Amino acid sequence: MKREKEIRWVGTAYEDLLAFPEGARKEAGFQLGKLQAGLEPFDWKPFGSAGVGVKEIRIKDVTGIYRIMYVVKFEAAIYILHCFQKTSQATSQKDKAITSARYRAIISAKRATS
């Protein structure tokens, strides 16, 4: 039996997820559980502009639209880069910048330990 992949939270991603309303938070937990088991979330898409292998889980709730930006391509763990509520059709430049910066920090750390 395959062991579940560890989740590693980057920056304030965990605290940001905890700030989601209860329904969105529960859905996020379910979708992250699917990732850990090696399955795909129900609603996701690639977000390559932030880095190679970056994806987003898309959650719709009665309270709004939420996103979880993550990278699953690394053997060691699933990295949760950023969690936020969308306030417009397009992802804001601020949220893109946070996701990209956290991705680059992971890549830099991996290079430093190689």
May I ask the CATH architecture of the domain 6-113?
2-Layer Sandwich (3.30)
Q: What is the pTM of this model?
A: 0.93
Report DSSP state, residue 64. E
Domain ranges, ordered by start, for the chain: 6-113
Render pLDDT for 102-111 as a digit per residue (tens, 0 to 9): 999 999 988 8
Which parts of 1-114 fold into alpha helices (H)?
A: 13-18, 22-36, 93-113
Render pLDDT for 59-95 as a digit per residue (tens, 0 to 9): 999 999 999 999 988 888 999 999 999 998 899 999 9
**C-beta neighbour count of 104 within 10 angstroms:** 12
Q: How far is CA 36 from the centre of its chain?
A: 12
At position 18, the amino acid (one-letter code) is: L
